[in-house]
Amino acid sequence: MKNIYLIYTAFFALLILCASCFDEDEKFAKEITSKGSILVTVPTKALPPPPTGQPQLAEQNFDVTTARFGINDDVQMTIYLSEGLTNLKINHLVTSTGQREEKGSFTNVTESVNWVYPASTLGIGNTSPANKTGAAFPASVTLELVASNNDNSQKVVRIFTVNILEPFSLTNSFNYGKDAAGNDIIVTANPATANPDSVIVLGFTSATTSLANLEKVEIFVKRGVKSAETLFRTETYNIANIADTVRFRMPSGNTNPNTLDTLFFRYRASYATGKTISKTSSTRFVNVPLNTTVNVDSKQRTLALYNPAATGENGDRAAYDFSEMTHIAKASDEALKDIILQVSGLDIGFKAGSTNSTTFVKGVAADYTSASYQVAKWSHETKPVVTSVTNVFKGDVYIVRITDKTGYNEYVVLRVNDINLTPIGNETDNITLEYKYYKKP
C-alpha cells in the first residue's frame, strides 16, 4: 500500500513539473518569430527574380522575406501584424556586430503599416548602403522588424532582407569610332584616349532593377577640370530597360604632351519618381607634339550605301549620317539621314532625308583633290544647289552641305568610286563613296 502511495505522489509531482515547463515554453515562444505574426508585401517589381524558367509572380506575396529596389527608389513595404500586436519598430541590423539603427517606429497599429524609406539613405547613419567588399552596389541591408503588444509582454521579431541595386551604369567596353587613319578604336579603360577630331561613342544602360521608368538621360561635357560644363545631349525614353549609345566628336586643335587635356562627361539619368542618378567618365586626347597642328583636312574615309529596297541588313545601310559617321536604319528619324541611296532600274542617285536640310552641288575632280573647308564652302555657295541627285556615274564629285546640331554648316566632298547594280534583285546593289569631311574651323 505504501508503494502505491509513493507511485501516485511521484506521478502528480511529474504532472505539476510538466505544467510548469509548458508555461515557460509558451512564454519563450512569444519572444521569437511565429509564422503569421508579421507578414510583408512589396510591389510586384520589387519581388526577387523567379527561378530560371518560372514566371514572375503577378500579385503581391504575403510571405516575402526579401525584396529588391533601385538606389533611386523609395523602399516600399506593407507590414501586417497579427491581432494583439500594436507596436512596430524597423531597424537596420548589422548582423556581424549587432549594431542597430532605427529606421521607423509605429504605435497603435491596427492590422498594417505602409512604410516608405529612401533606398539611398538606408545605410547606417542615413548613408548610401554599401556591401562588404566596399563597392557601392549591389548592397544588402538586413532589416529587423520588431512587433509587440501594448504592455510589451509579447514580442515578435522577423528578419527581412533588402537588396539595393544600381539601375544606371556606363558601358565598360565600346567602340571609340575611327582614328586619323580610319581604324576602329576599341576602348575599355576610363579615362580612355582618343584622337582630336575623332568620333567617340558614349554608352550607358538602365536595367529593370528600379520601380520607375527611365525618363531621360542628359550628358554634360567640359574640357579640363576648371572649365564650366555644358549640356551636350538629352535623350528621352520613358522605358524601364534600355541600352543606348551617343556619339561625340572630339574637338580639333593642339594638345600639350606635358599636360593631359581631358574631356569630362557627366551623365544624369532622371526617373519617373523625380529622382536622378549621376555618373561620370572622361576621355583624354592623344598627345600631339608641340607646334603640330591636327590637320582636319586629312579626314578621308570610304563609305558603302546599299539599295533601300533590300530586305535584309543591307536595307538599313542605305542612309548615312556624316557628322556621326554611322549608317542610319530605315525606321530611324529622317532628320538624321544626310544621304540616302536611290535606285530606279539602272539609274542610281541619292537624296537627303525628308526632314533633313542637306543639299548637294555637282563638282569636278579638282574639287576633291584640292578640297578644304573654305574651297567646299565657296563651291557650294557659287554653284546650283539641289536636294537630290540622279544619274550618278563613277568618278562624279559632289559637295554636300550639312547642318550640325549646333546650327553650324559642315561640308563633305565626296567622290563616287564604284557602282554595283545587279540585273535581278536589290539585296547587293550598292555604291562606294570616298569622302572628306570638314567642320567649321
pLDDT digits (tens, 9 = 90+) for 102-132: 999 999 999 899 999 998 889 898 888 865 4
Residue 132: predicted pLDDT = 47
Strand order in the sheet with 87-94: 66-70, 155-165, 139-148, 87-94, 99-106
Q: Can you list the residues of the chain whose pLDDT is less than 50? A: 1-2, 5-8, 10-35, 58-60, 132-135, 173-176, 254-259, 287-298
Q: What is the pLDDT of residues 293-322, one digit of tens each?
A: 333 434 567 888 988 888 878 888 899 988
Which of 90, 75, 82, 81 lies closest to 43 in space, CA to CA? 75
Angstrom distance (rounded) from CA 104 to CA 115 = 8
For residues 75 and 6, what is the distance between their CA atoms, to the nearest angstrom?
65
Residues 6 or more apart whose CB falls under 8 angstroms from that of 251 comprise 196, 197, 223, 263
CATH architecture label of 29-165: Sandwich (2.60)
Give pLDDT, residue 366.
86
Any idea where the domains of the chain sit in the sequence?
29-165, 169-285, 296-438
C-alpha 13/C-alpha 398 separation (Å) is 112
Alpha carbon distances (Å) from 197 to 50, 214, 251, 316, 405: 48, 32, 5, 26, 16
Contacts of 128 (CB under 8 A, 6+ apart): 71, 120, 121, 136, 139
The helix (run of H) or strand (run of E) holding residue 129 is none
Q: Let me know: does 1 contact 8? Beta carbons within 8 Å.
A: no
* Cell, residue 357: 536640310
| 169-285 shares the fold of 29-165 | yes
Radius of gyration of the chain (CA): 34
Element (DSSP H or E) covering residue 25: helix 2-29
| Peptide bond between residue 191 and the one before it cis (omega within 30 degrees of 0) | yes
Considering the domain delimited by 169-285, tell me its CATH architecture: Sandwich (2.60)
| Beta-strand relationship, 214-223 and 139-148 | unpaired
| Cβ-contact 186, 193 below 8 angstroms | no
Whole-angstrom distance, CA of residue 412 vs CA of residue 321? 11
C-alpha 52/C-alpha 73 separation (Å) is: 26
Q: How far, in whole angstroms, is CA 310 from its chain's centroid?
A: 32
Using CB atoms within 10 Å of the CB of residue 72, give its burial: 0 to 12 exposed, 13 to 18 middle, 19+ buried: buried
Residue 389 to residue 358: CA distance in whole angstroms? 12
